[in-house]
Structure 1
Amino acid sequence: MLRTWPLMALFCMPLAQAAEVTELPDDFYAAQPTVQLFKAYAEFKMANYEIAQQMWLSIDGSARAEARFNLGILYDDGLGVEADLHRALAYYREAALAGSRSASYRLGLLYLRDPRMATDIDEARYWLSRAALDGDADAAKLLQGMTDNSTTGDGMQKAEALLLDGESRQAVELLTQLAQQGDPAAINRLAWIYESGVHVEKDLNRAAELFLQAAELGDASSQYALGVMLMTGAGMSKDGDKAKRWLKQAAGQGHVSAKRALREMQ
Structure 2
Amino acid sequence: MRISDAIIVGTLLVLGCQPAAWAQDAVAGRAAPIPPRPIPGVALPEPETDDSAVPQPLAGGLTTAPAAPAPRAALPLAPFTNAREALRAWMRDKTAGDQVGAVRALEYAASQGHLTAQFKLGRMYAGGEGVPTNDLKAFEYFSKIADENADAIPGTADGRIVGSAFVALGGYFIDGIKGTYVKPNADRAFDMFHYAASYFGDPEGQYNLARLYMNGQGTPRDQRQAARWMKLAAEKGHVPARAVFGDMLVRGSDGVPRQVSQGLMWLSLARDAADPQRDAWILERYDAAFAAASAGDRSAALALVERQQQYTSGRIPPR
The two structures share one fold, judged by TM-score above 0.5: no
> Per residue, is there more helix in 1 or in 2?
1
Larger Rg: 2
Which TM-score bucket, shorter chain as reference?
0.3 to 0.5
Q: TM-score when scaled to structure 2?
A: 0.38
